[in-house]
Amino acid sequence: MTLPPGGGATPGAAAVGAAVGAAGGAAVGATIGVEEEFLLVDLDTAENAPMAEKVYAGLDDALRHRVRREFRPSMVEMVTDVCAGLDELREQLLTARRATAAAARATGARLVAVGATPVAEPVREPTDDTRFRRIVDHYGPIARDPAVCGCHVHVGVPDPALAVDVCTWMRPWLPVIQALAANSPLFEGSDTGYASWRSIQLDRWPSLGPWPHLESAEEYENTVRALIDSGEMMDRTMLFWFSRPSAQFPTVEVRVADVCLEAADTVLIAGLVRGLVSTAASSAFAPVVVPDVVLEAAHWNAARQGVGGTLLDPRSGRARPAWDLIGELVELIGPALREHGDLGVVTAELDRVHREGTGADRQRRLVAGAGVAGALEQVAHATVRG
């Protein structure tokens, strides 16, 4: 989970948001950027390894600006520069993953793309940073829960009021994104039965969950102010809704996904999110009003099942076969995917996930064949595959 080290956005969010916003012009979805969080793991013990500072020191200057300090010393965050297309995004993701994985190997650790701590995290104290210590003081023991890692997609939306409308319009569809990105079945060395244990673990954090049904930028600002005044939020940077307008840059950030096992999975999620944001911005239809309790149930079900069974359609309150709902999403955003040149990539990657399963499904197969420690070694290879 990205936790900001200073006022405003994280360094990673700032790098992505500033670039996407600066290059976005007036066209919604013209630019895209991604933040990815990873764990460092000791393959001898299968436990998280607090080696982040040594990993940073091993990177060359050309890449170091894209790798960020995280809340825990066993975590590394990498960000892309501004991207116009998915092929460019894929190249940047792979370059950063491979270079950082090499720096991790030099320390005796491995870079793994998993959404939750798979075995144990001996060092639960935050990275040495004044703001990180304030977060621990404010939120107490939940800030010492085992580390989790997400994938956050920024899409250029130049108008703040439109950004609020986009978040409200697309809220019923984010459980589908969550299910496709599920990549954290393991915890304390065993299978939790959940496709995304990260999602369940994060439920303990306040101001985290679905974007509420907000109808104006004024209502959004009033809501944020009330959450801060209540003490639930330390400040506005601690707003962790699954989508949100950037506090500093003209982007919408979607942060519902686990970090993806392979770069190709990240490309798929980024393409779907860009298509959804663009469709929301251009839609002539009013957003569907979904009760918060129903939307929360849809997200719980997505975290539990991934795409292996049914997903709750929050618009109807009915269970639907997961791939039927995915197909409906692709049909809905198809014009935006075509406009951005993303349709071919998205459909090809969806076909692959349909055959191979989500990251959670693939992790489970690896564990069945090699045990947890052996599976993590193979996950490290998958993290840089492309």
What are the tens digits of pLDDT across the range 200-234?
A: 999 999 889 999 999 999 999 999 999 999 988 88
Tell me, yes or no, whether 1 lies in a domain.
no
Query: If you average pLDDT over residues 174-195, what whole number do you get?
Result: 98
User: Per the domain annotation, does 133 fall within a domain?
Assistant: yes
Name the more confident of 248 and 161: 161
Residue 2 lies in a domain: no
**Does residue 79 lie within any of the structural domains?**
yes
Domain of residue 265: give its range: 11-383
User: How many independent structural domains does the chain possess?
Assistant: 1
Q: Residue 18 has what pLDDT?
A: 45
**What is the CATH classification number for the domain harbouring 359?**
3.30.590.20
- As a whole number, the mean pLDDT across the chain is 91
- Residue 301: inside a domain, yes or no? yes
Residue 249 has pLDDT above 50, yes or no: yes
**pLDDT per residue as tens digits for the range 3-31:** 333 333 333 444 444 444 444 445 888 99
Three-state SS string over the chain comes to CCCCCCCCCCHHHHHHHHHHHHHCCCCCCCCEEEEEEEEEEECCCCEECCCHHHHHHCCCHHHHCCEEECCCCCEEEEECCCECCHHHHHHHHHHHHHHHHHHHHHCCCEEECCCECCCCCCCCCCCCCHHHHHHHHHHHHHHHCCCECEEEEEEECCCHHHHHHHHHHHHHHHHHHHHHCCCECEECCEECCCCEHHHHHHCCCCCEECCCCCCCHHHHHHHHHHHHHHCCCCCHHHCEECEEECCCCCEEEEEEEECCCCHHHHHHHHHHHHHHHHHHHHCCCCCCCCCHHHHHHHHHHHHHHCCCCEEEECCCCEEEEHHHHHHHHHHHHHHHHHHCCCHHHHHHHHHHHHHHCCHHHHHHHHHHHHHHHHHHHHHHHHHCCC
Q: Please state, for a pLDDT cut of 90, what percent of the chain lies above it.
A: 78
Classify residue 376: in a domain, yes or no.
Answer: yes
pLDDT in tens, 269-280: 999 999 999 999
In a domain, residue 4? The reply is no
In a domain, 38, yes or no: yes
Give pLDDT tens digits for 37-62. 999 999 899 999 999 999 999 999 88
